[in-house]
Structure 1
Amino acid sequence: MDNLIEQFIQYLTVERGLSTNTLASYQRDLHGLAVFLDQSGLHVHQGTRSTIIAFLAYLQKEGRATATISRNLASLRAFYGYLLRSGQIDRDPTVNLESPKPEKKLPTILTIAEINALLDGPSLSTTTGLRDKAMLELLYASGIRVSELVSLNVDDIQLSLAYLRCSGSTSRERVIPIGETAILYVKQYLECCRHKLLKHEHEQALFVNHLGQRLSRQGFWKIIKKYAVLANIRVEITPHTLRHSFATHMLENGADLRSVQEMLGHADISTTQVYTQLTKSHRLKDVYAKAHPRA
């Protein structure tokens, strides 16, 4: 089988121009199959659907991650497809084999203490610091996406009525209530800072960068990562971290699932239900920490 693998790798190198790392990945996966077949007393030409399923089951038993098993199956598909096209086998044993379903990981959220540290990071004595404070407070207060935050116009937020309007990926407008703290800092930003950043009076964007233009999503994430470092937050900040935290903290404090679904703009409530798993997990951790003698 080693010769067949070398032929296949040569084919991938010449015909498909794959990177060295990708080729090494193929070679590693196929070597694993070769060892498995050898231990089973089989030649590669004798590989059947049952053989491939047994190999994937072996990988699972060895504790390989779902993503790793899926990658192995992709390598096997490419290899056996090559052997079939080159006339070295009569039947591809990987046809119609389904990849294992990816594991659904619960979203990462910040604790209340981490949220407070993050939101307290910006300096209120500077123009950009007050802008950053207003953005972070508004994002956590509303649970909107970062793309929705930077798309807000001045007219989309009604501070006197304590709500904002935004349109998500479905273009369906939703109205979201916002709290007093967010209102306070957005009001200060509008009154004291925004006009200092503007270059053109006709700019409608609520949050603008140092060029006076609408802040980009990438620009915002440079900002939030800076404050995550200042707050000594060790978990990886993602574009949805504050949104996940908003939803989880709302449910932990008694908000009903339908209301959180509406605020997040989820079309399907099953998407929102993942946060109930997080709240259950956090409650169990709290109970354990308080009750277990060695916790």
Structure 2
Amino acid sequence: MSLDNMDTSDVAEDPIERFKQRYASQKSDSTAERYTTHLERWRDWLELREKDVENVAEDVDARPADVEGVTAGDVEDHLDDMYASGYAENTANGARAAISAFYQTLRQFRRNPADADHIDRSWSATTLIKEKTRDPVKYLPKEDVEALADNVPSPVPRNALIVRLLYATGLRRGELCNLRVKDVDRDSQTIAVWTEKAGDSRKVPYPDSLRQQIANWMDVGRGMVYGAEDSEYLFPTRQSDRISGETVRYLVTKAAEEAGLQEVYGTDVEGRERALITPHTLRHSYAVQAAKNGMRAPFLRDLLGQHDINVTEIYLQIASEDAVDAGKEHGPTI
């Protein structure tokens, strides 16, 4: 039945069920079912953070911890948590599409409950849909990473360590937020990265250069954070038992601005600028540098926690192309 001819009294009160009805009328039952699964997971995630799936922040670009309603940062944090829990990239992308479609439809329903032909596309900004002007992989040389660490906002010791740790281990933003004190083995200089979905972990090493910084944070700096004694997480804050993904994003993007490295690569559908250098840039930087240093694809895949080796081999291809460019620039001539 078309929603044009549907009595509004037949429309479900539950927002996700209502979305399912509307979306099935426009697309397909299978897509609607798949999107519903993503949205139910999304609602559960929000409820743990005491947020209502229908309550949208007036400023969707606000930091999630600063407002009661749902923001774009909540979406990014949720996707990061999915990655950290072992969900494949395709699954996370499906969740992004479902959340985007849900809020577009929700906005239109509030304007006119009987109108299902037109989906307001402006709400896609909440899921950070961007112009297609970004390079597939943005990465930084070591000296630029050091510049980021030298220009982080306060608290400097914690934030500088986070920048260096993201670069030195290739952790995802959500994985770093979920690190617990007991996950750090200072004797072996390794970190256990757990995936909730698979129920297992991978070990990633950290270099000697971070040994003292990590010790300083764990033995001194962390204990100076109010409430840290009640938290099991490596990076608690004064407001929460663990740092949020949006806070990590903010400190990296702010450091890039202060270091003069930040670039704008495009805008969302509402014209807001998007930063090129983010926490994920540091993960890319780790992977490309590891490939340049000769790490084989299977080892790199395991350290990154990736499932598809074809994705990992992108970094090896970039390293190879950089080597060719370096040869052209610095190789001998006769």
Q: 1:185 and 1:204 mapped to 2: Cα distance? A: 19
**Pair 168,140 (structure 1): closer, same or farther in 2 beyond 3 Å:** farther
One-letter identity of the residue aligned with 2:287: A
Matches within 5 A, 1:112-123: 112-122=142-152
1:77-156 counterparts in 2 under 5 A? Answer: 106-122=136-152, 128-156=155-183
The alpha carbon displacement at 1:188 in A equals 1.0
Q: CA RMSD in A?
A: 3.2
In the alignment, structure 1 segments of 5+ residues that lack a partner are: 1-13, 23-66, 69-101
Match of residue 163 from structure 1: 190
* Alignment partner of 1:182 is 2:182: no
Q: Greater CA radius of gyration, 1 or 2? A: 1
How high is the TM-score relative to the length of structure 1?
Answer: 0.60
C-alpha contact (below 8 Å) 1:156/1:165 kept by paired residues: yes
Same amino acid, percent of matched pairs = 23
Q: CA deviation at 1:20?
A: 8.9
User: Structure 1's 255 and 202: CA in aligned 2 closer, same or farther, altered over 3 A?
Assistant: same
What residue in structure 2 maps to residue 206 of structure 1?
234
Q: Which segments of 5 or more consecutive residues in structure 2 lack a partner in the other structure?
A: 1-114, 124-129, 264-275
Matched, 1:216 2:249: no
Contact map agreement 1:164 1:176 (CA 8 A) in 2: yes
- The one-letter code of the counterpart of 1:115 is V
Post-superposition CA distance 1:29-75 (Å, at most 9, x none): xxxxxxxxxxxxxxxxxxxxxxxxxxxxxxxxxxxxxx99xxxxxxx
Q: TM-score with structure 2 length normalisation? A: 0.54
Corresponding position: 1:268 with 2:314: no
2:149–2:164 Cα contact (<8 Å) kept: yes
Residues 222 and 228 of structure 2 are in contact (CA less than 8 Å); yes or no, is this contact kept in structure 1?
no
- Structure 1 residue 239: deviation in Å? 3.9
Q: Distance in 2 between the 1:155 and 1:21 partners?
A: 44
**2: CA distance, partners of 1:191 / 1:201:** 12
Q: Structure 2 CA distance, aligned partners of 1:230 and 1:269?
A: 36
2:311 partner amino acid: T
Contact 2:232 2:241 in 1 (8 A): no
Distance 2:319 2:280 in 1: 17
| Structure 2: distance between partners of 1:176 and 1:20 | 41
